[in-house]
Amino acid sequence: MTSKKLQQQQSITDNRDLSCYYVTKHSWRGKYKRIFSIGTHGITTYEPSTLEVTNTWPYEHVISLTPNVTKSAASSSTSSHQPTQHPEYVLTFRKQRKSDNMKFSCEYRSDIITDALRFQTLFYSEKPAISPRVYSGSKIHWSSQRPSILLRVQTYCLDQIDAQTNRYLCSYDYKDIEQIQLLAAGDVAKGFLLQDKQFSRLHAFLCEKTDELLTVMADLAQQTLGITS
């Protein structure tokens, strides 16, 4: 079978690649370089030298993408004289009515998982998805206005929603958060400042349940992306 026919056979219908990463695939046979693509309808891996499709997973077959935290912890504790070991992640998927998985590694692990989790509502699941926690608050603008908002804590980001219209406004990906500082009245946290990595902008929020909100965010960032504070 020619490469062209193989690619046509394995390609996901109407899928369009959105973000691609150069990764290493780990298997019992060895380690192989791959292009790992997050697309509109699924995940695809390519052979870098030929761009031949090697594997495809429509989102309805994907169960999860998770960091291999144990391996990452072990890698970070190795001697500085050892070759750099990029953080690992595991793709779990449905195969012939059973679950299977593949292991990969890449320095951009948190970016890969974040991009994939944007489509998590399309993933395969035997149980109803757990609704994200939502907290009431307000955004402090440079003009001193304080519009009411809702802060929705997703597995990979914090969503900002207009409390009056329920309209989605924007998201702050955990991977792009540089730091968070508390706004406190005495010993009580009343809000927080969020600084993003890309532009170093500060975003100020007021929320009566700031401590709880930040704890949930930190737990999810560690569990789903392998990010520690």
Spell out the domain ranges in the chain.
3-122, 133-225
pLDDT at residue 7 greater than cutoff 50: no
For residue 158, name the pLDDT band (cuts at 50, 70, 90).
very high
Give the pLDDT of residue 127: 78
For residue 97, name the pLDDT band (cuts at 50, 70, 90).
confident
Report the C-alpha gap between 151 and 142 in whole angstroms. Answer: 19
Average pLDDT over residues 156-169: 97
pLDDT at residue 170 greater than cutoff 80: yes
DSSP summary character for residue 175: G
pLDDT at residue 135 greater than cutoff 50: yes
Length of the chain as a residue count: 229
Average pLDDT over residues 177-201: 88
Backbone angles phi, psi at 95, to 5 degrees: -145, 110
More confident residue, 97 or 158: 158
Cα three-residue angle 198-116-71, rounded to 5 degrees: 85
123 in Cβ contact with 64 (< 8 Å): yes
For residue 84, name the pLDDT band (cuts at 50, 70, 90).
low
3-122 has which CATH code?
2.30.29.30
pTM above 0.85, yes or no: yes
Hey, what are 81's tokens?
């004289």
Provide the residue type at 215 as one letter: T
User: Are the folds of 3-122 and 133-225 the same?
Assistant: yes
Considering the four listed CATH numbers 2.60.120.10, 3.40.50.10800, 2.30.29.30, 3.40.50.720, the one that applies to the domain covering 133-225 is 2.30.29.30
Q: Which residues pair with 60 in a beta bridge?
A: none
